[in-house]
Amino acid sequence: MENRKRAIDWLQKSARSYLEDGNGKKALTAVAAIKSLAPDHPLLAELRVKIYLLEAKSASQPVPAGIPAGASTGTAWPLASGYVVTNDHIVADSSDVILINGSGQELAAQVVLRDQASDIALLEVGDADKLPPAIPLANSPLRLGSRVFTLGFPRLDLMGSLPKLSEGVISGTNGLLEDPGSLQTTVPIQPGNSGGPLLNMNGEVVGVVKSMLGIRDERQGSIYLLPNASCALKIKCVRDLLNLLPRRDAALTILPRRSGDLETLAARIQSSVLIVVAR
């Protein structure tokens, strides 16, 4: 019995280590071994969900013309301080990061601070004056059923380089496994939406788009992506990360906090979302 417990402990530590390294295949092998020893082990569900999220958010986005082969692309957006928010998995282990604004201008950026656990990265550029206006952060939490939308750059190869809008509602005020730092939404997203702002109907950021949700077919190994299910990090995660940096005065103009219909809000905000390219 003691040897069995030690084996399970070792396997779950191995699974977590593989997940940290981004190796979902090896993590799944460790989970299968745990299941063979303890089919009802309480960690199985948690580890499987983390594997699904890893593989869903790692779904590759084909590289369009003009973007270097092997590059990772996603969405980013500026804060009043001049920092730029995106997902950590886009820029992780990259030595070259570029932001592309609505005019097609390329801005060299560098990673200032990363939070791998929350999947957030803060970037900065040499001249913040070249960034578009900042998007304001929401001060109030959203309730279940609140209407939300995102603007971003999904599937650049097929859908083009202009920002795309998708909308939905808050379907869960906590994330998977009741994660208090995340939200569940019905906003449909694709590879490339990662890092984009999740916005309320006042044009304020309530979260950071993180990942699609999927279910693995354990017999075939394939993943079925749920069409209207996605996860976003609550904006508190961004505020917490900002608090670790030296305080800055506002460097950018901030877009107004004003309610409107979806068309009005899209017109106001679309120029403030950026393509991020990392390699």
- The string of pLDDT tens digits covering residues 239-278 is 999 999 988 888 899 999 999 999 999 999 999 999 999 9
Q: Which CATH entry fits the domain spanning 67-279: 2.60.40.1170, 2.40.10.220, 2.40.10.120, 2.60.40.420?
A: 2.40.10.120
Q: What is the predicted pLDDT for the residue at 113? A: 96
Residues 6+ apart with CB under 8 A from 112: 83, 122, 123, 124, 245
Structure token digits, residue 20 = 């940290």
57 and 210 in contact (C-beta within 8 Å)?
yes
Q: Give me the residue spans of the domains in the chain.
A: 2-57, 67-279
Q: Is 221 left (phi over 0), alpha (psi -120 to 50) or beta?
A: left
pLDDT for 147 beyond 70: yes
Quote the CA–CA distance of 150 and 187 in Å, as a whole number.
8
Q: How far apart are CA 265 and CA 259, in angstroms?
A: 8
Residue 2, pLDDT score: 75
Query: Three-class SS of residue 219?
Result: coil
Q: Is 246 helix (H, G, I), strand (E, B) or coil?
A: coil
Which residue's structure tokens are 């590879």? Answer: 191
pLDDT at 63: 47
The residues facing 172 across adjacent strands are 184
Query: Which 3-state string (H, E, C) describes 45-63?
Result: HHHHHHHHHHHHHCCCCCC
Catalytic sites, residue numbers: 89, 119, 194
pLDDT, position 15: 76
pLDDT tens for each residue of 85-94:
999 999 998 8
Tell whether the torsion through CA atoms of 150, 155, 159 and 162 is positive or negative. positive
Residue owning tokens 């976003």: 232
Residue-wise pLDDT for 172-230, tens only, equals 998 877 889 899 999 998 889 999 999 999 999 999 999 766 556 666 666 666 677 88
Confidence at residue 55, expressed as pLDDT on a 0 to 100 scale? 46
Give Cα 53 to chain centroid, integer Å: 11
Whole-number Å distance between alpha carbons of 16 and 30: 9
State residue 32's pLDDT score.
73
Is the distance from CB of 230 to CB of 169 less than 8 angstroms? no
The span from the CA of 265 to the CA of 203, in Å, is: 6
Q: Which pLDDT score, from 0 to 100, does residue 139 have? A: 94
pLDDT tens-digit profile of 24-71? 656 767 777 777 788 767 665 556 555 545 544 444 444 454 566 668
Residue length, the chain? 279
* Tens digit of each residue's pLDDT (9 = 90 or more) over 87-126: 999 999 888 999 999 888 899 999 999 999 889 999 999 9
Kindly report the backbone phi and psi dihedral angles of residue 254, in degrees, each rounded to the nearest multiple of 5, phi listed first. Answer: -105, 130
